[in-house]
Amino acid sequence: MNTFSSFKSFRVPMMDETQRPLPIIIICTLGFIEILLVILSIYTMPDHLIDSWYPPYLILTALIIMGCMIAFWHLKNWSIYIYTAFISINQLLLFHMGVFSIYSLIIPTLILILGCLSMKNTEKQLS
């Protein structure tokens, strides 16, 4: 008798790695839309508002947001903290430059709310 034949019917249930919680999918979709808006803002801002350092800053902004969105996608809780700190600094800079708008807070606020809720749910599942 083959001792390994009894193991053929044994299957280990595995979670599909591509399945993500809905808030994470929404966060990442909004984040990538935000990246597109940041890149488009380089070309749509009036020249008198743009200093020479601002376009490279916007590219850095897009890269940092992209890194946070990739970390969100991989369910890393630290990404919400980095995203929060960066968005806070960015909003202060926009206010200092005189181009702050309440509309610039819509997508980041949605991302932060969903991120905090998702992080809370992830911590509950781990404990």
pLDDT, tens only, 62-119:
999 999 999 988 888 889 999 999 999 999 988 988 878 888 889 899 989 988 888 7
Asked if residue 115 lies in contact with residue 81, where contact means CB atoms within 8 angstroms, the answer is: no
Half-sphere exposure of residue 110, counting CA atoms within 13 Å on the CB side?
15
pTM score of the predicted model: 0.73
pLDDT tens-digit series, residues 31-65: 999 899 888 988 887 777 677 888 888 889 899 99
- In this predicted structure, the answer to whether residue 11 has a pLDDT above a threshold of 70 is no
- The confidence score (pLDDT) of residue 63 equals 93
Alpha-carbon gap, residue 6 to 91, rounded angstroms: 62
Alpha-carbon gap, residue 51 to 7, rounded angstroms: 68
Q: 114: how many CB neighbours lie within 10 A of its CB?
A: 21
In sequence order, what are the residues at sequence separation of 6 or more whose Cβ sits closer than 8 angstroms to the Cβ of residue 116? 80
